[in-house]
Chain A
Amino acid sequence: MPKENVSLDRKFGHIVRTASQSHIELKPVYNSGDMNHLSYDNDIGDPGIYPYTRGIYPEMFRDRLWLKSFIVSYSTPEETNQAFREYIANGLTDLRILADLPTQCGIDPDHPAAWNSMMCGGVATYGIPTYERMLEGLPLENVVYEFAHMGISNFIYNYSMLVSIMENKGLDLNKLHGNGINDPIRAKLVYECPDFPTDIARRVYMDHIEYAVKKTPRWKPCVPNGVDPQQRGMDVPKELGGCLALATAMIQELKGRGITIDEYGPMVFALDAESDFFETIAKFRAARKMWAVIAKEKLGATHPKSMQLKIGIRTSGLSLQWQKPLNNAARVTLQILSCVLGGVNSIDASSIDEAIGLPSLEARVFNLDTQHIITHEANVPLVADPLGGSYFVEALTSRIEKETNQYLNEIEARGGIFECLESGYLHEVMEANRLKIQREKEEKKRLIVGVNAFQAEGEEGPVNKAIRDVAYRSPTIKDRENMVSEVIGFKAGRDRNAVKRTLKNIYMAAKSGENLNPPMIDAAKAGATIGEVVGIIRTGYGIPYDPFNQIQMPEMVKQIAGQGGNK
């Protein structure tokens, strides 16, 4: 039987758009005319020299390679500890810590609202015993740790845990390195985090920053985060503008507490690496330049270091697809490459199986190996800012700077970043862009391979199937019951007087305006839990103990707050 004739469409798979992911319209060709408005010294400059567009170190990656990072947080502290060990053996150099979702909301595992998400997305780090098990045998000095949580309560609390453990072991707090996100805009805008209303969150985040800057100079207690706002709908100028606005507000408020930007030192942002390759690179370049200018011109930085922006990356989880998951390897590789070409300081790359569940070990080793291949086989990091001077990249960097400045002016005209959060303006901007993107996908003006274009025909192959089969299981009912028993047992076995005394000190600090961080460290050592410290701060502010309004305050808190019982 003769075979059917094949018809071939020369235009199959052709380009469907002319604008970047953030709707920046691009020309087909750029030339020297697109750089006429730029001066090399003022706008670009050599790497290591103000305004740091091309990078903060003179020799960039020859001097120090970016840190390779993952959030490592599985259901139990033991699994998490084991995973850290395996990733370190494969080249992990930056340890990102997270917790399960209830902990991130500021409640304990024995809270009724915890049950449905308990031990999901991470360890229930309710108190010091889980911390000790999670970090057992891992180095604490001169290693970079990062906290990626959502609730503002979690940063001051996790920091207090790390400090407590280091002090208990007699370690040097000057050697505590790393950072915590501690971004109250993200906590509300992206997560509506229930732990604290924004007024309390603003007090707690600043208390923690003030304390950490003085006590642990190598710890960055605030990392304005653009990753999650971007994932939730913001475009690049809004992602970057939000970070710059928060960082500016934070440094100004810190000045009111007697700490200058020169004492604070370099700023760190957490930015997203999206699929749009050149836009992502240009964003990192623009970010460094814009912060340098703001730090120097607006915030009075005099030391070069305090004009520098370090960029920590989380590659886009949202860009990864459930369909044909093998394709995620291409997406992640390009995103990592954009980070390297953009001169970032640390990379936490999402894994190819991330649209299916928590990442498997193999997928993450692939991730680390991708970075080793970019370094040692592709030789990409040998030369600093290799795209510097490209007509297109310089023009795009400048364009992002311009659009971001317009957004910053808008925020300022509306009374500042916190006013824009409270008024709902930030949410409106974010939702409008999210909707625009959803419509573009529906109308196929934005193609996602395997999702709204180039879909798979017929049966899925063995490689894609295997990627999907490794999904990490969520904890069983039995696991959750055991966790609840563990917490109840832990609470019953503590020195009740020590817990009560330290909680009372937090309560008094909340009421009087004293810094909350010192009594928080004492409370961590005494075994107070995340739910208790969140509750006592709320009580000190005269709002209900429980963020979910489901449980009564414990007897000892009633006594502290003078609401019946023995004082």
Chain B
Amino acid sequence: MNENKPIRVLIAKIGCDIHERGPITLMTAFRDAGMEVIYTGRYATPERVVQTAMDEDVDIIALSDHTGSMPIIAESVMAELKKNDEMDIHVMAGGLILPSDIPALENMGVKGNYGPGTPLETIIKYTKSLVHPV
């Protein structure tokens, strides 16, 4: 992969979760770190998220949710990616994620799984390493 090509990230919120401060803060931080970021806005569907990810040719889908429903949301996105044969798009998750939900998310192939208060540098460093493994 071309190391000079900026990493492209789609930040997505699925369902009716209204908590937007996290994804917007992350959007700014990712851009500051030289990535190209698209944000779905709230109230998206798994179908729309995956379609946007394909149309925008992103490297990563970053799911944000603060309702405690991340396993349900992530499962629907992974299924949609599989359906479209787009399993090489990385999926990360962040927000209100209970420690007890992390094993299930990891089993699905969802990376990161960052809880509230994770330092932005940690997320950025990991995001870069996902696309450009050292």
Contact = CB atoms under 8 A, between A and B. Distances in A.
Interface in B103-121: 115-117, 120
Nearest to B24: A434
B45 interface: yes
A435 B68 contact: no
B128 interface: no
A104 B24 contact: no
Interface stretch (A286-294, A307-315, A318-326): A318-326
Q: Could you say which interface size class chain B belongs to? A: 20 to 34
Given A104-B16, A121-B67, A355-B117, A192 B42 contact: yes
A42 interface: no
Contacts of B17: 101, 116-117, 120
A190 B18 CA distance: 9
Interface in B86-110: 96, 98
Contacts of B28: 435, 438
B14 to A, nearest CB: 5
Interface stretch (B3-11, B51-59, B69-77): B69-77
B31 to A, nearest CB: 11
Interface in A49-98: none
Contacts of A10: none
B21 A101 contact: no
Contacts of A116: 14-17, 65, 67, 69, 72-73, 76
A102 interface: yes
Contact of A477 (B24, B45, B72, B116): B72
A114 B43 CA distance: 10
A231 B21 contact: yes
B16 A473 contact: no
A431 B14 CA distance: 22
A451 B117 contact: yes
A282 interface: no
B18 A101 contact: yes
B25 interface: yes
Contacts of B25: 438
Interface in A111-133: 112-117, 120-121
Contacts of A355: 116-117
Interface string A496-538: 0000000000000000000000000000000000000000000
B27 to A, nearest CB: 10
Most chain B CB within a 10 A radius of its CB, from A101, A104, A318: A101
A357 B68 contact: yes
B115 A105 contact: no
A563 B84 CA distance: 36
Contacts of B68: 120, 357, 472-474
A323 B117 contact: yes
A191 interface: yes
Contacts of A117: 15-17, 67, 69
Contacts of B115: 322
A232 interface: yes
5 contacts: A101-B18, A116-B67, A116-B69, A116-B73, A322-B115
Minimum-distance CB pairs A-B, first 7: A116-B15, A474-B68, A322-B117, A120-B67, A101-B16, A322-B116, A117-B15
Interface of A: 100-102, 104-105, 107, 112-117, 120-121, 150, 190-192, 194, 231-232, 318, 321-323, 355-357, 431, 434-435, 438, 442, 451, 471-474, 477, 548, 550
